[in-house]
Structure 1
Amino acid sequence: GTLLLPSSTEGNGWHLRMESTPDFGKTWVMGDTISRGKQKVNAIQPSILFHKDGSIQAIGRTRNRALFSTFSKDNGKTWSDVELLDMPNNNSGTDAVTLKNGKHLLVYNHVLPPGDLAKGPRTPLNVSISDDGIHWNAALVLEDSKISQYSYPSMIQSSDGMVHIVYTWRREKLKYVKIDPSKLKVLPIKNGVWPGEEGKVVTAVKAEEE
């Protein structure tokens, strides 16, 4: 089969594209740049989700204060215009995986930047879960400290069903967390606000970096 590599460019504006290999990396095909859509979304660092209807979704980081989403119905050859989800993004990296049971798991900073800024503190670090990749439920807070930052997470699910997450801890070290997704207790995220955090403004002690 064909392996799909989600990728992006930053040198001349932020753009998404997909690359693929039919021979396990010997040769590669570079896909067209995915349209930024009517919202002119500046997006990079996509993660791939697989849906039960055969469609593929890419989701990830933007400069537009919200997570992006785009779908493919032909195994990644063509993609819909990029759109923004009703989920905040602080211009920080995310990761997402489709679990064995078909649900989708997302690890990210659930932070809406203050005012009209594109960038916000990289704390807290959160985990959300979804059935459709569009509507998300709050599942877990991995870090919640005013001492930033918790960023650039990476996540996989192993054959035993456990989820393994690695992320940068305050720019000092890497931290590893193992999660049993069957034990997550979820609450709906309404209007992009984490449950119990209505009206909260997130501030950080340490200045953010790229």
Structure 2
Amino acid sequence: MRAQQTFFLFLAIIFCPLAICQELIPPVSKVGKGPLLQARQIFALSKKPTSSCHASTIVETREGLVAAWFGGTHEGHRDVGIWTSRYKNGKWSVPVEVVNGVQSRTKRYPCWNPVLFQSENGPLVLFYKVGPSPSSWWGMMTTSTDHGKTWSWPTKLGENPLIGHLLGPVKNKPLELQDGSILCPSSSEKGDKWRVHFEMTRDLGKTWEVIGPINDGVEFDAIQPSLLTPKNGGLQILCRSRQNVVTQSWSSDGGKTWRPMVASSLPNPNAGTDALTLADGRHLIVYNHTTRKSAVPGRRMLNVA
């Protein structure tokens, strides 16, 4: 994933069935025209705090929206930290770096993939990764009890014999289950295999249970799952893959076990996606309706379905 030189926050609300023919290229929506798509600039490009930024995340708190992203010289540079901004009274606050990868006076690692999460009754949580690369990074978390104004001292999520470093939600949001457990969609990029797993905590990160991996990394190299909640009471995930498709799987027992991963009808150029379930039961996914070999290749087209 290449860090972008500009940073725009897209708030999208649109719907069409997931079973879209791969050959169909959706029409381009115009930003600000009608209720479907809005875009707001968090900071002026003439006043950008870092030369590049990437992997934005947004959450609604009781006092308004909070956004976060990683920013620095470029993705993977040791100076990359996690930045946040709060939306209140119709405008975004000046971005601030809230955490970084400093380990000592002489050692600093880049930060990666922040994920903001607001539980029903708990604090605002910021999950993120620190480390030299995605194959060796580890999960961190910090919390805020004042809706993102200030943050606690960061803590490392820990280790697990099944996967090594715990990561928390690797890119997309966790899901709070009915019993209060937090189910984090996660994945690993070890060697030449990309595999999806889940990390569950019942005490806000003090202890963790690892579920999976649920794919072998051979038929599908898949990472970065998003969680959906179908009306049947089960769970569904949609994942990025190296097989030119968005992959999917389902669970009928609250995420404890998962059906074999299969391809969806949506293409994927080995690029990140994000998906969620609306209050009325509809599902949305933000993705690139392309493959690496399509007429409009790679990530040049951003779609919502």
- Displacement of 1:67 in angstroms is 0.7
Say whether the 8 Å CA contact 1:19–1:29 is kept in structure 2: yes
Aligned twin of 1:86? 99
Structure 1 CA distance for aligned equivalents of residues 39 and 117 of structure 2: 23
Instruction: Specify which of 68, 78, 84 is matched with residue 69 of structure 1.
Output: 84
Among 59, 75, 88, the alignment partner of 1:49 is 59
Q: Decide whether the 8 Å contact of 1:56 with 1:72 is kept in 2.
A: yes
Q: Output the CA distance in 1 between the equivalents of 2:170 and 2:206.
A: 24
| Alignment partners' CA distance in 2, 1:175 and 1:70 | 30
Q: Deviations over 1:99-144 (max 9, x none)?
A: 1223233332234xxxxxxxx3333321414024433441512565
Structure number with higher relative contact order (C-alpha < 8 Å, ≥ 6 residues apart): 1
> Normalized against structure 1, the TM-score is what?
0.60
| CA shift for structure 1 position 156 | 1.5
Q: Look up the SS of the partner of 2:41 in the other structure.
A: coil
The count of aligned residue pairs is: 162
CA distance in structure 2 between the partners assigned to 1:79 and 1:126 by the alignment: 28
Aligned pair 1:158/2:176, yes or no? yes
Q: Give the alignment of 1:165-176 within 5 angstroms.
A: 165-170=185-190, 172-176=193-197
- Give the C-alpha shift of residue 183 in structure 1: 5.7
- Answering whether residue 206 of structure 2 is matched by residue 185 of structure 1, we say yes
The verdict on how the C-alpha distance between 1:150 and 1:157 changes in structure 2, with shifts beyond 3 A counting, is: closer
Cα shift at 1:177:
1.9
1:183–1:50 Cα change, 3 Å: closer
Secondary structure, counterpart of 2:173 in structure 1: strand
Residue 182 of structure 1 aligns to a residue in which SS?
Answer: coil
RMSD over aligned Cα atoms: 3.6
The runs of 5 or more residues in structure 1 that have no matched partner are 1-8, 112-119, 187-209
How far is the alpha carbon of 1:29 from its aligned partner?
2.0
Residues 28 and 158 of structure 1: CA distance in aligned 2, closer, same or farther (over 3 Å): same
Q: Per-residue displacement from partner, 1:178-202 (whole Å, max 9, x unpaired)?
A: 312426339xxxxxxxxxxxxxxxx
**5+ residue gaps, structure 2:** 16-34, 73-78, 102-108, 208-270, 272-305
% identical aligned pairs: 9
Q: How far is the alpha carbon of 1:69 from its aligned partner?
A: 0.9
- The equivalent of 2:124 in structure 1 is 104
Deviation at 1:41, TM superposition (A): 5.7
Give CA deviations for 1:18-72 in whole Å, capped at 9, x if unaligned: 2234x645721222353365744632221123333x1321112122421111111
What are the within-5 Å matches in structure 2 for residues 194-205 of structure 1?
A: none
Render the CA deviation track for 1:124-167: whole Å, top value 9, x for unaligned: 3214140244334415125656xxx9995333223322222222
Offset, 1:83:
1.8
How far did 1:91 drift?
Answer: 5.2
Q: SS at the partner of 1:185?
A: coil
Q: Find 1:121's aligned residue among 120, 123, 133.
A: 133
Task: Name which one, 1 or 2, has greater alpha-carbon Rg.
Answer: 2
